[in-house]
């Protein structure tokens, strides 16, 4: 029988982590949100508030439900506060060593029945799992940005993930109102494997002055009916995150499609990381 998840943890409250916190809290689940310091915690809290304000403004959430949602979230900088969580979802930046370090620590924090999930977009879930003493309980749970809006979750089963853990995470994703799909531990899984070659191509068109950013975006938005153009989407994802995903996929497949366009690295180095820093391909107020 599927476990009744009542308490979960989310590590990393950036764009994805804060969105994931919102998804759990909206479903009535208590969430412990962990960040490295008070400043990062505050940014996560603000991210959540902006998102629920948007939902409120669009009539997707009542004031009372929004307050109840926020009351379900506890913020901390101490991993030890995850001790009673039945599931922990890690959503820190896409650096393998950092993720492995966190998973190794979690072993000593959570109970033996807790499930450990990573929201990695492109790194090997297996490599992250083997950093723990019990890799059977490690699974990938990959949400899409914005997590409260997009109804898709990739559940990544490694060769060692237990069937029980995997089924529980799939059932939980359904309870969150998402459509879960099962996918093997391949860089980019399904959606990013298809998406990032296209995004990278758009960036190199921009870099090669093939067309303006607006025209590239309009081509896909107005010409093909996509909800947003590729450069605006890069800004939403975050150019640093997009760079890391492309770089990982390139190193695995060595295909030119995923070799990150040089301008991406320059923009990231210059702090032009997209919406999160106020400027990427576009400028945000
Ligand atoms: N909770 C619930 N619903 C919310 C919400 C919240 N917190 N915030 C907004 N919404 C709802 C709105 O009410 C609206 O719904 P209706 O259209 O029914 O009114 C809908 O979500 C869209 O919200 P907005 O009107 O505020 O925004 P928008 O219409 O400009 O759409 C967008 C913005 C959702 C981002 C849309 O442009 C979109 O889907 N773009 C594509 C995003 C995409 O491709 N994401 C995948 C990126 S890849 C990834 O994430 C993987 C990775 O590993 C990096």
Average pLDDT, the chain: 96
Ligand 1 atom 51 nearest Cα: 144
Domain 7-183 has CATH 3.40.640.10: no
- 253 has a pLDDT exceeding 90: no
Q: Could you read off the pLDDT of 96-109 as tens digits, one per residue?
A: 999 999 999 999 99
Residue 80 Cα to ligand 1 middle (Å): 33
Q: What CATH number should be reported for the domain whose range is 192-277?
A: 1.10.1040.10
Give the mean model confidence (pLDDT) for residues 192-215. 97
ipTM of the complex: 0.94
Query: Measured between alpha carbons, how far is 203 from 234 in angstroms, rounded to an integer?
Result: 9
Query: Measured between alpha carbons, how far is 111 from 108 in angstroms, rounded to an integer?
Result: 8
Name residues whose C-beta falls within 8 Å of residue 77's C-beta, 6 or more positions apart in sequence. 34, 35, 36, 37, 38, 41
CATH 1.10.1040.10 in the chain, residue ranges: 192-277
Question: Could you tell me if the CB of 121 is within 6 A of ligand 1?
Answer: yes
Question: Could you tell me if the CB of 225 is within 6 A of ligand 1?
Answer: no
Residue 146 Cα to ligand 1 middle (Å): 5
pLDDT of 254: 76
pLDDT of 37: 97
Residue 99 Cα to ligand 1 middle (Å): 27
Residue 144 Cα to ligand 1 middle (Å): 10
Catalytic residues: 121, 142, 154, 192
Burial of 130 (0-12, 13-18, 19+ CB in 10 A): middle
- 82 has a pLDDT exceeding 90: yes
CATH 3.40.50.720 in the chain, residue ranges: 7-183
CA 72, 24, 61 angle in degrees (round to 5)? Answer: 75
Mutate to test the pocket of ligand 1, among 25, 27, 52, 60 (most ligand atoms within 8 A of CB): 60
- 1 has a pLDDT exceeding 70: no
Question: Could you tell me if the CB of 144 is within 6 A of ligand 1?
Answer: yes
């Amino acid at each position: 029988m599927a476990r009744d998840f009542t308490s979960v943890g989310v590590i990393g409250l950036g764009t994805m982590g804060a969105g994931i916190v919102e998804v759990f809290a909206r479903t009535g689940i208590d969430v412990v949100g962990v960040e490295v310091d008070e400043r990062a915690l505050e940014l996560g809290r603000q991210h959540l508030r902006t998102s629920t304000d948007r939902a409120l403004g669009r009539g997707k959430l009542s004031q009372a439900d929004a307050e109840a949602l926020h009351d379900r979230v506890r913020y901390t900088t101490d991993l030890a506060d995850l001790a009673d969580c039945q599931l922990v979802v890690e959503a820190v930046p896409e650096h393998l060593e950092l993720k492995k370090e966190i998973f190794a620590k979690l072993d000593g924090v959570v109970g033996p029945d807790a499930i450990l999930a990573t929201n990695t977009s492109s790194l090997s879930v297996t490599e992250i799992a083997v950093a723990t003493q019990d890799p059977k309980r490690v699974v990938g749970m990959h949400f899409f940005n914005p997590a409260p809006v997009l109804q898709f979750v990739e559940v990544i089963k490694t060769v060692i993930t237990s069937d029980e853990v995997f089924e529980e995470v799939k059932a939980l994703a359904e309870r969150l109102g998402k459509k879960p799909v099962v996918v093997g531990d391949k860089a980019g899984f399904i959606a990013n494997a298809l998406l990032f070659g296209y995004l990278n191509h758009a960036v190199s068109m921009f870099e090669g002055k093939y067309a303006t950013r607006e025209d590239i975006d309009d081509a896909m938005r107005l010409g093909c009916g996509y909800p947003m153009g590729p450069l605006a989407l890069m800004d939403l994802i975050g150019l640093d995150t997009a760079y890391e995903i492309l770089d990982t996929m390139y190193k695995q497949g060595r295909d030119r499609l995923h070799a990150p366009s040089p301008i991406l690295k320059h923009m990231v180095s210059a702090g032009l990381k997209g919406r999160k820093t106020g400027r990427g391909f576009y400028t945000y107020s």
